[in-house]
Amino acid sequence: MPETDPTPVSIVEVQRAVTAELDRLGPVIDDLGRLFTEAGHEIALVGGPVRDAMLGRRHNDLDLTTSARPEETERVLKGWAEGMWDVGREFGTIGCRKGDFQIEVTTYRSESYDPSSRKPDVDFGDSLAGDLGRRDFTVNAMAVRLPARTVEDPFGGVLDLAQGLLRTPGTPEASFSDDPLRMMRAARFAAQLGFDVAPEVVAAMTAMADRIEIISAERVRDELVKLVCARWPRRGLTLLVQTGLAERVLPELPALALERDEHHRHKDVYEHTLTVLEQAIDLEAERLEGPDFVARFAALMHDVGKPRTRKFLDDGSVTFHHHDVVGAKMTRKRMKALRFSNEETEQVSQLVEQHLRFHGYGTGEWTDSAVRRYVRDAGDQLERLHVLTRADSTTRNKRKAERLQRTYDDLERRIADLREREELDSIRPDLDGNQIMEILGIAPGREVGEAYTWLLELRMEEGPQEPEVAREKLLAWWAARG
C-alpha cells in the first residue's frame, strides 16, 4: 500500500534543504536578481519552488514575482533569456527559458472573484508582502528575495511546513471567497504533500462548498487530475467527501457510502473503492509508466453503478447486477461534464465496463476464443485492465485472495502463450476486403462487410488460418448463404 504518512521535517532540515537548492539554482536566480535590481526593480523566487526547496525537492520550473510591470520585465529579460513568451501577459506573467529552466516572472498582483463570475479580476500590486498575502496557503506564501537570497515568511509558512499543516494567510473565508478553486487546491495539496488541513480551513470549505459551482468545469477538472495523480490521493478525496465538495464536483464518490444495517450486511463500497485505488497505484509502479490518471480514475469509478443497481434478496444478500454497464454510462456522463477529452473519457469508461469480465474466467475454463475476445475487447487498455482487475481484490480472506491472484496469473500466461503463436494485439481476418471481392466475384458493398465480419469471427474462434484454408471456408459460407 502507499505510504500512509509523510515523513515530518525539522526547521534545521528545512534550512539545510533550501540552502542547497538555492545554490543549485544560483546561476539563474543570481543573474535574475542582479538584472532586475540594476533596472530598479524588486524580484523574488516565490510559491511552489520555495516550498519544495524547503522539502528537499528539485524544481526546474521557477516562479518569480517582481515589482516590474510586464513590459518592463520583457525589457530586462531580452538578451538574457534564450526564448520568451507572453501568453500570461493578461495576468502579468512573462515566461522565458534559460538552459534547462522554464521561468515565469509575474508582476506583484492581487486578484479576486466577483461573486457571480468565473474569471478573476487582476490588479497589479506594489509590494512583495501584499503579493504573498493574496496567495492560497502559508506554505505557498514564502519568498526568497534576490539577489540577497533573504527568506520572507510573513505568515509562518516555514513552521506550517515543518508541522505538515495547510493554513491560509488570512481568514479561509476571505481566501475562498476570492477564489473558490482554492478549496479544491486544499484537497490537492493534502494529497500531494501528505499534509493535514487546519480545522478552520476544513470548516470554511464545508460552509462554502456551494461556491465551487462558479468555477469552470475545466479548472475543477485540472485540480481533480492533479489530486488523483498525487502521492496520497486518499487524503484529498476524503477531504472532498468530508466537506461536501465532492457532492458538487464528483457526486458519484460520496454516493458509494451506502447505508448499512443489521439485516443487510455488505462490503463498504466507498472504503473498498479507496482501497482499490491505492492497490492500483501499487501495481502501476510495476506495470505502467508513472502516475497513470486513466488507471487511477477507473479504479475510483469502477463501482459507481452499484448504488443504482443494488437489490436486497430474501436471504439477506445483496446484488449489484449490471453495475459495470451502468457505471460506465455514469462515468462517461461525469467525465463529459468535467470537459475531459473524448479519448480519456472512452478509456476510463471502457475499463469500468470491463472490470468484471475476468470473473467469468472461473478456474480457467475459457476457450482460446474467449481469451482472444478478452484481449480484443480490451484493446490498448489491456495492461490497465490487468491493473484494475487485480486491484479490485480487497477480500480479507487470504486463501480467496491468493486463489484470485493465481487465476489471473493463469489468464495472463494464456494471453502470453497465444501471443507467441499468433498476432493477438491486432486481430484481423485472414483475408482482406480486396481478397474477399476477388474470391467471391462481388463489388464493394454490404456483402463484403458481412463476409469480413464472418471471417473475423472465424479468426476469433479458430485462430489464424492459412490463406487457402480461409478461402475454402469463405466459399463454403458463401454457398450456404445461397
3-12, 27-36, 119-128, 345-354 — which is least confidently predicted? 3-12
Q: Which residues pair with 124 in a beta bridge?
A: 109
Please give the mean pLDDT across all residues of the chain: 91
- pLDDT category, 261, cuts 50, 70, 90? very low
Cell of 425: 494485439
Q: Model confidence over 429-452: pLDDT tens digits?
A: 889 999 999 999 999 999 999 999
Output phi, psi for 144, to 5 deg: -125, 110
Output phi, psi for 436, to 5 deg: -60, -45
Q: What is the CATH number of the domain that holds 115?
A: 3.30.460.10
- pLDDT category, 187, cuts 50, 70, 90? very high
Residues 24 and 61 in one domain: yes
Q: Is 207 within the bounds of a domain? A: no
Q: Greater confidence, 125 or 389?
A: 389
- pLDDT category, 114, cuts 50, 70, 90? low
Q: Greater confidence, 473 or 315?
A: 473
The one-letter amino acid at 2: P
- pLDDT category, 263, cuts 50, 70, 90? very low
Residues 265 and 295 in one domain: yes
Q: Is 178 within the bounds of a domain? A: no
34-43, 323-332, 463-472 — which is least confidently predicted? 463-472
Res 139 pLDDT > 80 = yes
Q: According to the model, what pLDDT value does residue 3 have?
A: 52
User: What H or E segment, with its residue span, contains residue 109?
Assistant: strand 109-113
Q: According to the model, what pLDDT value does residue 120 have?
A: 59
Q: Is 183 within the bounds of a domain? A: no
Residues 380 and 476 in one domain: no
166-170, 189-193, 318-322 — which is least confidently predicted? 318-322
Residues 414 and 274 in one domain: yes
Residues 152 and 14 in one domain: yes
Tally of domains within the chain: 3
Mean of pLDDT values over 27-37:
96
Q: How many helices (H) and strands (E) does the chain have?
A: 22, 13
Q: Model confidence over 43-65: pLDDT tens digits?
A: 999 999 999 999 988 889 999 99
Task: From 163, 195, 210, give the residue that closes a domain.
Answer: 163
Q: Is 474 within the bounds of a domain? A: yes
Task: From 110, 144, 163, give the residue that closes a domain.
Answer: 163
Q: CB within 8 A of 129, min separation 6: which ones?
A: 152, 154
Q: According to the model, what pLDDT value does residue 5 have?
A: 67
Residues 325 and 366 in one domain: yes
Q: Is 380 within the bounds of a domain? A: yes
Q: Model confidence over 340-353: pLDDT tens digits?
A: 999 999 999 999 99
d(CA 70, CA 66): 9
With a pLDDT cut of 70, the percent of the chain lying above it is 94
Q: Is 118 within the bounds of a domain? A: yes
Q: According to the model, what pLDDT value does residue 286 have?
A: 87
Res 264 pLDDT > 90 = no
Residues 393 and 300 in one domain: yes
Q: According to the model, what pLDDT value does residue 257 have?
A: 86
Q: What is the CATH number of the domain that holds 415?
A: 1.10.3210
Residues 468 and 398 in one domain: no
Give the range of the structural domain holding residue 473, as residue numbers without chain letter.
433-480
User: What H or E segment, with its residue span, contains residue 146?
Assistant: strand 143-146
Residues 146 and 67 in one domain: yes
Residues 59 and 114 in one domain: yes
Task: From 163, 189, 204, give the residue that closes a domain.
Answer: 163
Residues 139 and 45 in one domain: yes
Residues 363 and 464 in one domain: no
Q: According to the model, what pLDDT value does residue 118 have?
A: 54
Mean of pLDDT values over 232-254:
97
Question: Is the peptide bond between 199 and the residue preceding it cis, with omega within 30 degrees of 0?
Answer: no
Q: According to the model, what pLDDT value does residue 260 have?
A: 53
Q: Is 30 within the bounds of a domain? A: yes
Res 143 pLDDT > 90 = yes
Q: Is 223 within the bounds of a domain? A: no
Count of Cβ atoms closer than 10 Å to residue 384 Cβ:
26
Res 154 pLDDT > 80 = yes
